[in-house]
Amino acid sequence: MMPADPLDPVAHGATLTIDLDALVANWRLLGERAGTEASAVVKADAYGIGIEPAVTALARAGCRTFFVAHVSEGIRARKVAPEATIYVLNGLLPGSCDRYAEHALSPVLGSHEELLEWASFRQTGAKVRPAALHVDTAMNRLGLWAGEGLNLARERSGVIAAADIGLLMSHFASSEDETDPANARQIAAFAEIAAALPEIPASLKNSSGHFLKDCPSYQLTRPGYALYGGNPTPGKPNPMRPVVGLEATIIQVREVEAGTHVGYNGRWTAKGKRRLATICLGYADGYPRNGSWTDTTTGGAALLDGALCPFVGTVSMDLIIIDVTEAPAGAAQRGAHVTLIGGQLDLEAVGAGAKTIGYEILTNLGRRYARRYLGL
Ligand SMILES: *Cc1c(COP(=O)(O)O)cnc(C)c1O
C-alpha cells in the first residue's frame, strides 16, 4: 500500500505552507541591518518549520553558522550542512564531549565545570572545533556569571585558553521591549567582558536585539524567531516577511438557534441564530487548546474569504468549530479553505488568541499537516 502523498491536501485536511525564500530574505535583511554576519538559530526543528529544509536553504544562501539546542539537533543540521559551524546552546551534558568530536559540533559552554571538562577533553588530543562561551548577563539560566567570566578572562593562560573559545556570547532577557532598562545593563555588562577578551569574536543580538538602539552587533548575530516571520518589534509593524501559512478545510456547515450549546461540555452558547462550520484541524495538530472560545473566555479565530470567524467552543483533538455568520455569502461551503495562520492572523495574533506567544505557536506546528515548501 502506498503511504498518503505528503502534499495531498484532501488526504490531510490542513496544509502548512513554508516559504523558504522568505526565510532566506529575512536572514539577509537581519544581516544587512546588523552590518555583520548573521547566523541562524534552528533549534526545535527550526522553530517547527523543519530543520533540514531550513538549514539547507540558509546554507545555500551563504549562512555559515547555526545554533541548535541539543546534540541530536546538531547531528541533523550537520547532515545537510557539512561545512557549517554548529553551536549547541545547551552545552555539555556530563560525558558528552565525544559526541561533539564525532559530529564536529561546538558546545556553548555555560559554566566553569563545562569549561574544565571541555579543556581536559581537548588535552586528550581529541580533534574538535572551537567552543563558544556563554556569559549570563541577566537571565540566571545558562552561562558563567559575568563577574566569574571576567575573573577567568584575566587569567591569561587559564581555562579559557585551554578550552579554545571561538565565540563569546550572552542572551537578552527582554529585548522585544525596547523600553526595558535591563537591555542597557546587559549591553554594558557584555561590553565589559568582550573588552576583556578582545581576540574572541562576540555575539549578543537575538531577533529583537537587531532593533534595539545602542546595541553593538559584534561579529555575529543570532536571530531565530524573526527568521521565521515572527515580529521582533511587537506592537509595531512587522519588518519581516511571513514564512508560515496554515490553511484547513471546512467539512460541515450548519445553522444553530439561540441557546444552542456547542462542542465538548457545551461551553459555548449561541446568543442568536448562527452559522457554524467545522474545520479539519485541532490540538493534535499543535493548535493550542487554550484557543478555545467559551461563554466566559475569548479564543482563536480563522479567516474565511477575508472575514474573521471566531472559534466556537473548545478546540478538539482533530476539529475546531468556527462561526461563519459574518463571512461573505456562499463562502462557507463544504470543501472551502480557511486560514489559521496568515494575513491579519499573524503569529502574534494567533499567539494572543491562544493566550501564549507566537514562538510557541511556531514550535508546536504539528507533524500531521500536508507540508508544502516553497523555494525548496
Ligand atoms: C533561542 C535563542 C536565540 C534566538 O532568539 P530569538 O528571540 O528567537 O531570535 C538566540 N540566542 C540564544 C542563546 C537562544 O537561546
Q: Please pick, among 43, 218, 359, 373, the residue that the annotation labels catalytic.
A: 43
Give distance in angstroms: CA of 107 to centre of ligand 1: 15
- Indicate if ligand 1 lies below 6 Å from the C-beta of 78: no
Q: Please pick, among 87, 100, 218, 264, the residue that the annotation labels catalytic.
A: 264
Based on the domain organization, do 64 and 146 belong to the same domain? yes
Which H or E run includes 67? strand 65-68
Among 23, 43, 66, 67, residue to substitute to test ligand 1 (most atoms within 8 Å of Cβ): 67
Q: What is the crossing angle of helices 146-154 and 112-123, to 10°?
A: 40
Based on the domain organization, do 171 and 219 belong to the same domain? yes
Domain presence at residue 209: yes
Domain presence at residue 80: yes
For residue 2, the model assigns a pLDDT of: 67
Domain presence at residue 138: yes
Please tell me the pTM assigned to this model. Answer: 0.96
Which domain CATH number covers 81?
A: 3.20.20.10
- Place 98 in a pLDDT band, splitting at 50, 70 and 90: very high
What is the C-alpha to C-alpha distance for residues 145 and 150, in angstroms, rounded to an integer?
Answer: 9
**Is the pLDDT at 157 greater than 90, yes or no?**
no
**Cβ(230)–Cβ(347) under 8 Å?**
yes
Question: Does the annotation count 47 as an active-site position?
Answer: no
**Is the pLDDT at 5 greater than 90, yes or no?**
no
Give distance in angstroms: CA of 217 to centre of ligand 1: 15
Q: What is the crossing angle of helices 182-196 and 146-154, to 10°?
A: 10
For residue 102, the model assigns a pLDDT of: 97
For residue 149, the model assigns a pLDDT of: 87
**Is the pLDDT at 156 greater than 80, yes or no?**
no
Q: CA neighbours within 13 Å on the CB side: how many for 192? A: 16
- Indicate if ligand 1 lies below 6 Å from the C-beta of 224: yes
CA distances from 220 to 175, 223, 256 (A): 17, 10, 57
Based on the domain organization, do 153 and 111 belong to the same domain? yes
Q: Which residues are within 8 A (CB) of 107 and not within 5 positions of it... i.e. 6 or more apart?
A: 87, 88, 91, 92, 96, 97, 100, 114, 118, 131, 132
Domain presence at residue 276: yes
**Is the pLDDT at 10 greater than 90, yes or no?**
no
For residue 1, the model assigns a pLDDT of: 62
Based on the domain organization, do 59 and 198 belong to the same domain? yes
State which ligand 1 atom lies nearest to the alpha carbon of 226. 9
**Cβ(370)–Cβ(11) under 8 Å?**
yes
Domain presence at residue 11: no
- Indicate if ligand 1 lies below 6 Å from the C-beta of 167: no
Task: Record the cell numbers describing residue 252, joined without a space.
Answer: 460541515
- Indicate if ligand 1 lies below 6 Å from the C-beta of 222: yes
Structural domain boundaries enclosing 305: 244-345
The residue nearest atom 6 of ligand 1, judged by CA position, is 224
The residue nearest atom 15 of ligand 1, judged by CA position, is 89
Quote the number of domains for the chain. Answer: 2
List residues bridging with 18 in a β-sheet: 244, 373
What is the C-alpha to C-alpha distance for residues 301 and 282, in angstroms, rounded to an integer?
Answer: 13
What is the C-alpha to C-alpha distance for residues 206 and 277, in angstroms, rounded to an integer?
Answer: 40
- Residue-wise pLDDT for 294-320, tens only, equals 999 999 999 999 999 999 999 999 999
- Indicate if ligand 1 lies below 6 Å from the C-beta of 217: no
- Place 36 in a pLDDT band, splitting at 50, 70 and 90: very high
Start-to-end C-alpha separation, the chain: 27
Question: Which of 95 and 157 is assigned the larger pLDDT?
Answer: 95
- Burial (CB count <10 Å: 0-12, 13-18, 19+), residue 213: exposed
Based on the domain organization, do 117 and 53 belong to the same domain? yes
Task: Record the cell numbers describing residue 201, joined without a space.
Answer: 569574536
- Place 360 in a pLDDT band, splitting at 50, 70 and 90: very high
State which ligand 1 atom lies nearest to the alpha carbon of 230. 8
Question: Does the annotation count 264 as an active-site position?
Answer: yes
Q: How many residues does the chain have?
A: 376
**Cβ(118)–Cβ(97) under 8 Å?**
yes
Based on the domain organization, do 224 and 252 belong to the same domain? no
Based on the domain organization, do 172 and 75 belong to the same domain? yes
- Indicate if ligand 1 lies below 6 Å from the C-beta of 207: yes
Q: Is 141 annotated as a binding residue?
A: yes
What is the C-alpha to C-alpha distance for residues 323 and 332, in angstroms, rounded to an integer?
Answer: 10
For residues 263-273, average pLDDT: 97
Give distance in angstroms: CA of 223 to centre of ligand 1: 6
State which ligand 1 atom lies nearest to the alpha carbon of 359. 8
Q: Is 2 annotated as a binding residue?
A: no
Domain presence at residue 4: no
